[in-house]
Structure 1
């Protein structure tokens, strides 16, 4: 009786591990794209900042936009150094 119980427990554990691996390794496209876009929009619109503090919201938006602009500028400079003359 305990052998049957042990086998069932092992099967449940193996199934849980396989489900977890499948969730972690499946591509993050398709159904997840909308959720990713929503999270990105919330991030750049300072959804996590204190909405009662207008200055904090504006400052967060400016800082995040400046970060993206800085990344693009540095990427272009790197590309010009690698592929330029």
Structure 2
């Protein structure tokens, strides 16, 4: 009787561990793919991939404008943090 109870407990434990492993793998995939997708989107945005590649002036103007906007936003956050925190 004790052996069958021990075996049933071991089976439940093994199943629980498999479920935990499966949940970890799935959550890493979701988080990882979301991070990769966001990084790819930011890279293509900053490199002006949405602009006409034949118009070099527009591409470089867009890259410069977006880079300056990012620098301004970071500077503004730093300024506000120093001033109000």
- The bucket for the TM-score relative to the shorter chain is 0.5 to 0.7
Of 46, 49, 52 in structure 1, the residue corresponding to residue 48 of structure 2 is: 46
Match for residue 9 of structure 1?
A: none
In structure 1, distance between residues paired with 2:68 and 2:46 = 11
Structure 1 runs of 4+ aligned residues shifted over 4 Å read none
TM-score by length of 1: 0.61
Bigger Rg over Cα = 2
Bigger share in helix: 2
TM-score by length of 2: 0.61
In structure 1, distance between residues paired with 2:76 and 2:34 = 29
Shift in Å, 1:29: 2.5
Match for residue 71 of structure 2?
A: 69
Q: How many residues align?
A: 56
Any gaps of 5 or more consecutive residues in structure 2? 1-29
**Worse-matched range after superposition: 30-39 or 43-52:** 30-39
The CA RMSD measured in Å over matched residues stands at 1.3
Any gaps of 5 or more consecutive residues in structure 1? 1-27
